Structure 1
């Protein structure tokens, strides 16, 4: 918890039933060594009292923008300048909407606009409210504006519904805040000067001119990674299979169809890049000889036999490159339906990857085609041993991309420091 020691954290609490968790969160933050001050909306006080938070933090709780005593010295500006991190937990659909549209109609929203601190939110609401297009637009806008969204989690809700919308548990939030590798601050590492190549989407392996073999993939995770890296200043090349997505700003895109085409593009770039992220769902096999013309049904014949041959293992090819030929830092992805960590750890070791991002695609609401994801990250320490592990809870794919990139950049910095020492 050393990254939180002495950190000045402004805990914002809005009007959701999950506000009861905020008391435990405040206690954990204090135990981790952070300085904590609390701001509550008017509605939040219907769920938990300011006196409770004051007892836990040892600081007076602010509740009103129009408090004459506090505002005699422009108290809200002083508080905005004091904070190094603004953590809103819970963040209701209403608060997200107001912040996404730049409102400053109470103390908490005013502080969020007046402060240059890092901003993190733990959304919490009914699953239908979270899934509503308006809330999803607001979530994307907040991330564009620099907010980091942690969660929400999925499961049973106070209203009786089941689905995404639960606020992350205080222990999970604390782990998220404290787990940025090798950084003494929550500010994301800068990627300026890095050259990053990312594969995304599916590959299409032709059977004949109208049919093909493929894998499920919307490309959303790979495109989110490309966008996050470009926003941090990296020189990003996106090798994309066929998807219905716009190229992120500042990203160079190479369109491919087959695994062979993706392999050729990846290997061509490999010696010129610092990081390679294989996020594409590459088909493992292709038809040995695609038919020149459309295959016709044969009367009385109910079966069709296709001879398949293995496609190149792109991520293993890049990882097998010797350092002298320009081997980049290699990050793979693994979509599994069972034994997630076992298969992911095997793939990390067998393919000699530096990091692997594994997700359980059997879960509802995450993975293929979804706007959300949850993942297990495994990576090698600076000495090359595959010993590091971190779980990323359910969150939007842009938020997950930012978290994954934080870890990658932290690992690169640690390797650089180790090599220099």
Structure 2
């Protein structure tokens, strides 16, 4: 059996810096998940954070000491603790980032262990803000947040735009959930905090379509939508403006926080969304798994098994779903790059080369669905990436987020070849 692809977080030295927000109570869940992925984790608590989460609990979960303010100048330290931690860390996660720690960071203050460590660190950083809604929207915090965006080497995630906070307020301020933070940490390990897609607009589709047979039944496929959703997240974290069009997903909704999402159910719904948004985008990624056929007229009432069986056997009851990717090729602006996906079994490369020629898109990723480490619902993926006028590239097997970054890099190279303007 071939070896499983290496986890990008395995063996990574991660410093988890926890500041004083009630969202700190979610940190143990994140620490546990990182350790299970094979990361080496050390934690630092501000005095306020130490009132909310136990240093003993984080030390137990991380299998390493958890440092608090009193540890900074211990005589037993061979060098200042903030320097030792800053040099040790390959990635730094500030989770949560409070208003106070945000201010310290952007104004270069070094008045506690966490702030001193952040100033001394040169590692890529992930920062997840969390605070009361009024605090988040306050002019001083918003000014500091804008200053933070200009800092190199970091990925800053603003709070979720809505939700119930610990103070009973509803609105922006809740920290992104650990499920998304874990993916963001993985992205940082894979690609750093490089904002190489900044200024680009990407339209990405994901998930299956559902074609109604009657009110109780539909025709669909096993797509979970994970590949397309991860491409959308990776693109946004690399600086692109992203719109995600998605069908019914089999994913934790928390990982989509911060994305502009438009939902569809049927192929007709997706067709309408594509017509509305295609012209907006520099690049389009069609990762959705769209049905090939649908009933001409879905039944308004639930059919018996016998009646449904009889209707499904009538050829005149069916119609072919329009080829949405081919329609987009016809409608695409001159400086737009289209990437399609196709699922296959057997000799996928030959099938994909024929489809690339037939559909006329710029890029096509051929995804084997008859192999255990690829395709629908698999945690990993692999396949062939085809480009007009270029030799096929074999990608994977690797995690789907890693593949998402590889595909986005190729899409970006195609856009650069077209001299697509950015920042408009």
After TM superposition, the score normalised by the length of structure 2 is 0.56
Change (3 A) 1:392 1:318: same
In the TM superposition, what whole-angstrom CA distance separates every residue of 1:329-352 from its partner, at most 9, and x where no partner exists? 100001111111111111111111
- Between the aligned partners of 1:347 and 1:291, the Cα distance in structure 2 is 33
- The answer on 1:278 being equivalent to 2:286 is yes
CA shift, 1:248, in A, is 2.3
CA shift, 1:95, in A, is 8.8
The answer for the alignment partner of 1:393 in structure 2 is 396
Unpaired runs of 5+ residues, structure 1, are: 1-17, 19-40, 42-91, 120-135, 150-185
**8 A Cα contact 1:230 1:250, kept in partner:** no
- The answer on 1:112 being equivalent to 2:101 is no
The answer for the alignment partner of 2:165 in structure 1 is none
The answer for the alignment partner of 1:409 in structure 2 is 412
The answer for the alignment partner of 1:242 in structure 2 is 248
1:251-270 correspondence runs (5 A) = 251-270=259-278
- Between the aligned partners of 1:417 and 1:254, the Cα distance in structure 2 is 25
1:133-148 correspondence runs (5 A) = 140=183, 142-144=185-187, 146-148=188-190
Change (3 A) 1:141 1:412: closer
Residue 377 of structure 2: which of 369, 379, 384 is its match?
369
Residue 323 of structure 1: which of 318, 333, 346 is its match?
333
- Between the aligned partners of 1:416 and 1:322, the Cα distance in structure 2 is 16
- Between the aligned partners of 2:401 and 2:42, the Cα distance in structure 1 is 16
- Between the aligned partners of 1:359 and 1:100, the Cα distance in structure 2 is 38
- Between the aligned partners of 1:368 and 1:220, the Cα distance in structure 2 is 9
- The answer on 1:210 being equivalent to 2:213 is no
Change (3 A) 1:389 1:139: farther
Q: Which moved more, 1:406-415 or 1:213-222?
A: 406-415
**8 A Cα contact 2:279 2:332, kept in partner:** no
The answer for the alignment partner of 2:53 in structure 1 is none
Change (3 A) 1:335 1:291: same
**8 A Cα contact 1:195 1:272, kept in partner:** yes
1:157-196 correspondence runs (5 A) = 188=194, 190-196=196-202
- Between the aligned partners of 1:228 and 1:219, the Cα distance in structure 2 is 14
The answer for the alignment partner of 1:348 in structure 2 is 356
Give the length in aligned residue pairs.
268
- Between the aligned partners of 1:289 and 1:95, the Cα distance in structure 2 is 49
After TM superposition, the score normalised by the length of structure 1 is 0.56
Residue 322 of structure 2: which of 309, 312, 322 is its match?
312
- The answer on 1:226 being equivalent to 2:226 is no
Change (3 A) 1:205 1:244: same
Change (3 A) 1:354 1:338: same
CA shift, 1:100, in A, is 8.2
**8 A Cα contact 1:336 1:360, kept in partner:** yes
The answer for the alignment partner of 1:68 in structure 2 is none
